[in-house]
Amino acid sequence: MWNPHSMWELLAIPGYDKYLECLETSGMNCVAPESPTLAAQGVELLQVVSRCRANYQQQQWDEGARFLGLFSADEWKRGISVGEMEQSSSNRQHRMRLVEINSYVRQPPDAQVVDCFAAALERGDRSPNCMRAALLRRGGAGGGSVVDEYFQYAGARGSQFADIDACRSFSGSETPFSKEGASMPLFLWTGSSGNKDHVATPHLLQVSCVLAVACARRCIRVSMQLTARRR
């Protein structure tokens, strides 16, 4: 499917909390919020919102983005069509699906991104570095990772469905070692556990200048204490 909306546009659609309250109370005749553009493609709005939030949490573009490389940048610019496809072309099913949803594409995707994905598909690379390259071209990351800067979170300003994109599992305010010398575990699952899924992903958190200075001073103080303890 093609999502032409930003996350802000998706969350501005009314009816999320009313729908969830209906499911929690009666569960009968509950009307889900809807986007006509997504519904026309046979996709539910809540599925898209959940997928967007999951991709953001994992600091990645959607896996389907790589199929942008199935057509050239020029083909995207002038409008892709079935007539440009060879009967024996590889990934024909995915190409046909892109043609079907092409009418929802408001503007052609970035040419450099398309070229990057096209080269990745030709190599058989399922995890290309196209996202990082695109973010680097946008600038930023003066002193850190461009990916970390792009996928920042900010404190929620409300308690509604549209206000909360993720939950913070660890604030980073604890010291790595206790007074007794015990270390803080970096993973929730034990080494022998069969569950290897990530419990959380590190993210930058936008804070006020006052809070940032206070946090920096606390980190310096803790670092000095640990240094003195090691001596």
Q: Nearest to residue 165, comparing CAs of 57, 6, 60?
A: 57
Query: How does the average pLDDT of the chain come out, rounded?
Result: 82
CB-based contacts of 192: which residues, under 8 Å, 6+ apart?
none
Sign of CA dihedral 53, 56, 57, 58: positive
**CA 123, CA 69: separation in Å to the nearest integer?**
12
Predicted local confidence at residue 88, as pLDDT: 46
- Summarised one tens digit per residue, pLDDT across range 4-23 is 899 999 999 999 999 999 99
- Summarised one tens digit per residue, pLDDT across range 98-138 is 888 888 888 889 999 999 999 999 888 877 789 999 998 88
- Summarised one tens digit per residue, pLDDT across range 139-187 is 755 445 888 888 999 888 899 999 999 888 765 555 666 677 666 665 6
Report residue 93's pLDDT band, with 50, 70 and 90 as the boundaries: confident
7 alpha-carbon distance from chain centroid:
10
